[in-house]
Structure 1
Amino acid sequence: MINNLNGVIPSKLFNLSMIRLIGLSSNPLSGSLPTNIGLHAPNLQSLLVDETNLVAGPLPNLSNASKLRQVDMAQNSFTGFLPSTLCSLKNLERLYLYMNHLTIDASTPQAASTLSCLFNLRNLTGLSLGGNPLNTTIPVFRGNLSTSLLEVDLSFSNIRGNIPVDIGNLSSLITLVLENNQLSGAIPTSIQRLQNLQALYLKDNVLRGHIPYELCQLKYLAELDLGGNRFSGSIPSCLGTLSVALRSLWLGSNLLTSKIPSSFWELKYILRLNLSSNSLVGPLEDIGKLKDVVDMDLSNNHFSGNIPSSIGGIQNIISFSLANNYLEGPIPSSFKTLLSLEFLDLSKNNLSGEIPKSLEALLFLKHLNLSFNKLQGEIPTGGPFKNFSADSFVSNGALCGASRLHVPLCKNRTKVKPNWRKAKYIISGVIPVILLAAAALILILCKKRNVKVVRETASLHQVLWRRVSHLELVRATNGFHESNLLGTGGFGSVYRGTLSDRIDIAVKVFNLQLEGAFKSFDKECEMLSNIRHRNLIKIISCCDELDFKALILQLMPNGSLEKWLYSPNRSMTILQRLDIMRDVALALEYLHHGYSIPIVHCDVKPSNILLDDDMVAHVADFGIARLIGGGDSMTKTMTLATVGYMAPGDVFSQFCICWPY
């Protein structure tokens, strides 16, 4: 699997009577499959032919392959009707047919029973039919539904009608994906019976009514997406009881009204929150309690009052929007503590006063929109403000500053003539002090190993964190197209991609043929995603499936340090090189001493040091040894470094080592 095999699949491959597994995934093959698989391969248990570019045509007959446990034919061009003969595969555990062109024959009496019988397969744990034009309804189930089903994906399938009450009988379900369909009606109250549910995606349907309080009884619910529907009424006050598990909540683009209940702000571990495009009202006094949130969108509502100074409490925030509300008063100076902020939109409010000069401290801020307010005074010029255009400040009226910002020049600026005679005495006295302070700082960094470092924000020790499906990654990378390939290495390949919410990512797809690998991939991936440091690549999520494992990483636009060092078309100043050395040292210090479980990188090299837009260095591939080996022993870690090379900073972690770039 995941090689570069091409040509037609030999028909003799399906004539081997003892063969149990056929795995041809992710190869540019051609031709088609035999029409009757299993007739001459009765012992076949796994058929994995996803992403193989097979000729368009109907699905082969699998009814004679009665021992099949896994069928993955996703991301091909299969057409025609979803065959009811699939229901005869009583041993089937996983059925993945997503992103084909399959439909259900609505002209036959068996149309409703095709889906229904699949839900009744006793051993089935995973069912993914998303991305097919099924053009059907979710049937009213008859009989006892499977208690083995863990994940169901029927997204992007033109499914209409109501969500049946009997859905609550899928008692083991962990993930339910019904997004981007035409489902209507209300969420059935029987949803409360899905006591193991951890992810529920219902966005972009036409669901109505109130958000049911029964959702609050799903104590393990980590991801809830109800955006893009027609839910009305208020936000249930009981959602605050999900504070232990809930990490992502999307309620945007609905018809919600009233104030946000005070108990809602008890969701102290929430990471992603979207309440945009509703009619919510009232102040935001307790917003500072969401101390772990990294992405929050409250735009296009009717919030009023001042932005509270407690906003400085959400120090991990990266993207924040309060645009198009009725907020007033000054911009709090406490924004200066949001050092990770990259996107800030406060446009279309009634904010007044001056733009705090303290915002110059937000060095990672790339997008700022303060337009259509009542701000006045001088626009700051330092830090990120030197990169903002006039669009950030449009229609404020009383702002002044540089002419490039299309505002008047500021008046009453007194020019002081420099006194160079005094300056040379001051400079001659200051330089020795600076050198002495720099020497002291180097000694502290090198010898004081037990320095107190900011610990990780909040451990995601609860049930489940956000997983990204294989289907999402295929869409994000255009089918892992070669044009998106960033590089390959010993562990696999890295692709550029863009998620549906327009976040640019890098996808590290692992080579599954590594011997003894991935024993606890999901657990280790979750642990590594909790590691947060300015100079470490952010692990956004992971994809953990039977025949596909990948990390979803923050994309670094300037590539690797290796390319900057050895490319004739690129160069760096000595100050940039020193900054990069410092960034790498801080990252390693955090990995060794700043996290609850010490992590030794073992493969620090220029290709594993990536640079963002501002040439800030981010160390990548930390903890890969844990993901592959599933353990934290030094022995396992050391053996996974680059052959013939071991980074001195990892071998001699007791000493301060500087090595040349």
Structure 2
Amino acid sequence: MTILSVMENELTGSLPSTTELPNLEMLYLADNNFSGPFPSFITNASKLSVLNLGLNSFSGIIPSAIGKSWRRISYHELVRATDRFSENNLLGKGSFGSVYKGRLDDGMELAVKVFHLDFEEAVTSFEAECEVMSSIRHRNLVKIISCCSNDDFKALILEYMPNGSLEQCLYSDNNVLDISHRLNIMIDVASALEYLHFGYLTLIVHCDLKPSNVLLDENMVAHLTDFGISKLLGEEKSMTQTQTLATIGYMAPEYGREGRVSKNGDVYSFGIMVMETFTRKKPIDEIFTEEMSLRSWVGDSLCETVMKVVDTNLLMDDEQFSKKEECVSSILSLAMECTRESPEERINIKEAVNRLLKIRVNFLANEAMARRRRQPN
């Protein structure tokens, strides 16, 4: 047996301690009512790479096999690491929490997301993030290091991203993101979405894609974060209803009208984010009205000249102007296909990834040719 899933079955009781599962790679026990000690047979499952034990009532000592990927960090350590959650260490605020930069006694840097427990939704958001992020692994998802929870305090401890968010980089005065940077970031985000939609046993819908939820590491590799309103849909579900409101401007029409959540909604949000990344215009910018949205503005430009809407920071090299225009036109055309009104008519994220990769190959080939032409004989 390599995969075992008994999620969402209302199972009770304790798990056997003598089970031998040496080939087990994925174990999903979440959302039952198991009790007793943590399953000790995990210790012998040397091939185990995915583990989800959330929403149960296990007790006792955590086996070392689980502890390998989770570091125990106490509340007092977090207080020291963040200088008592000083404003000087505040990285940003969201609807349900604040994120602080911290440094542990051993020098390890981290980000601490402290949930505002004054809001009833904050506990639900914390539990949702714990459930999703504790069991998924992908190079373009922010890694959870640990969590800290008691009646008065709940926090997630995440890997620190030194280059901040895509939103911060896009709108900073010293914006250094060229076409290649932005295209690579969009490919990273699309790859993370492809994993959530197709690469995991349970379909995960992020529900809140936007530039502030895309973080950049020291190499400018993008990592998707903030799963506070994400939804896990079982194999029999491709769509569900929710009353949780996503971010205005990025949410799909069917999400705003009917609360319909599906992977097609994530694709819509991704398309809006692509448009914003290459135009440097937010979907709620003051230039947009009921008559003209970011999508219609971009769509009209594709019929004329796309360079009317493109971020002027991308137009520096006149020699490459036509190739840049061709590249950005292809990217924005894809974004238009992601944001069609009907969910069923949108492309899926697999196709988006493949097409973005082809666009990058062509753009890099053109850049290489231009460099060779500039070199002296």
Q: Which has the higher contact order (CA 8 A, sep 6+)?
A: 2
TM-score by length of structure 2 reads 0.49
From the CA coordinates, give the structure whose radius of gyration is larger: 1
Q: Which has the higher helix share?
A: 2
